[in-house]
Structure 1
Amino acid sequence: MRRIILKTLCLMLLCNMAYAMSNDYDIVITKSKQELAVVKGEQTVKQFHIATGKGGNGTKREHGDKKTPLGIYKVIDFKNDSQFYYFIQIDYPNLLDAWYGYKNNVISANEFKKIAVAYKTRQKPPQDTRLGGYIGIHGIGQQDDQQLQIHNGFNWTNGCIALTNEQIMELKQYVTIGTKVIIRE
């Protein structure tokens, strides 16, 4: 069973690479530098200071660990009415996150299958498994001097990537559904 799931995982990753390559810009997030870069080809077009998950280094493994995931994702949704001003959702958990979760008994085979089907059909993956969900890039929300000081001095999110409200509105002009988001340590 695991061998079939692994082969399916590899095939779907290859099939979706062409879809992710169709956008002009990529988003590259480097957690250790607290930096989000908008990249076109080899050129950095824009850079922003960010805050990430207060759970520290490493990748997100399950709901509640307050870590920002590491990996390659794509943008799947936008929300104007977010409590954090504006929200750009990524496809966490992706297939690799799901495979890790299945292999380590965090999610069931049925949950893995649901995530794999969502990935294959370019739908939003289930957001309610033990892996967690609703990860993305957002603003601060109610923005004042105190919130800006916290944002500039600490990683304060529950796993998302945060920009100021002005920066998230600037970033949104570079992002479409399917934009690749690379998150690295």
Structure 2
Amino acid sequence: MISRRSMMAGTAAIGLVGCTAQPPVYIGPEVTRIQILKERREMQILHNRTLLKSYKVDLGFTPVGHKAQEGDGRTPEGGYRIDRRNPNSRFHLSLGISYPDANDIAYARAKGIDPGGDIFIHGTPQRWIGMPDWTWGCIAVTNDEMDELYPMINTGTPIYIYA
């Protein structure tokens, strides 16, 4: 027979499970494409040809031109994919971009340089708010915007970064 104490403890445990913080869920059209327009400092989120939302972004500290090597401060240009998700990023949340690709690696090898890597879409630490183009080549939005974007964008989503 189940004691009253056991019944109350079980009920309390079930209640606590309901209080556990759940990651936000995106309910809307699938994000099928991300476009970064570097010159306009804009990120566009699309479902097929329909613009779902756009965001102001900060880029690398030397934003003009395609990223060629580690430390150049440039944000890559070209077609890539979201290849990883980091819910524990030191930049709030982050979505990895598949830079460098085979072409980037071949170019860097031919020049005898390191192409770099670890390019992400991520949030903005407090100390960088209001500073333009402060990243080492990443694409930064506000933390609130990253909270909105993170559940919207799946691994494998294509991202096109234009000059």
Give the TM-score taking structure 1 as reference length.
Answer: 0.68
Amino acid at match of 2:45: V
Aligned partner (choices 55, 58, 64) of residue 65 of structure 2: 58
The corresponding residue for 2:147 is: 169
**Alignment RMSD, CA only?**
1.5
The corresponding residue for 1:121 is: none
2-side partners of 1:94 and 1:156: how far apart?
A: 24
Give the TM-score taking structure 2 as reference length.
Answer: 0.77
The corresponding residue for 1:100 is: 107
- In structure 2, the residue corresponding to 1:149 is in which secondary structure? coil
Aligned partner (choices 45, 48, 51) of residue 44 of structure 1: 51
Structure with the larger helix share:
1
Q: Which structure 1 residue ranges, 5 or more long, are not aligned?
A: 1-22, 107-129
Q: How many residues align?
A: 134
Is 1:137 the counterpart of 2:121? The answer is: yes
- In structure 2, the residue corresponding to 1:32 is in which secondary structure? coil
8 Å CA contact retained: 1:26, 1:179: yes
8 Å CA contact retained: 1:52, 1:162: yes
1-side partners of 2:128 and 2:116: how far apart?
A: 26
8 Å CA contact retained: 2:31, 2:45: no
Aligned partner (choices 152, 156, 160) of residue 178 of structure 1: 156
What is the percent sequence identity of the aligned residues?
Answer: 31
Q: Deviations over 1:86-145 (max 9, x none)?
A: 111111101221122233333xxxxxxxxxxxxxxxxxxxxxxx111110100003x3xx
1-side partners of 2:120 and 2:38: how far apart?
A: 14
Is 1:82 the counterpart of 2:89? The answer is: yes
2-side partners of 1:68 and 1:147: how far apart?
A: 17
CA drift of 1:169 comes to 1.3
Q: Which structure 2 residue ranges, 5 or more long, are not aligned?
A: 1-29
Larger Rg: 2
1-side partners of 2:31 and 2:55: how far apart?
A: 18
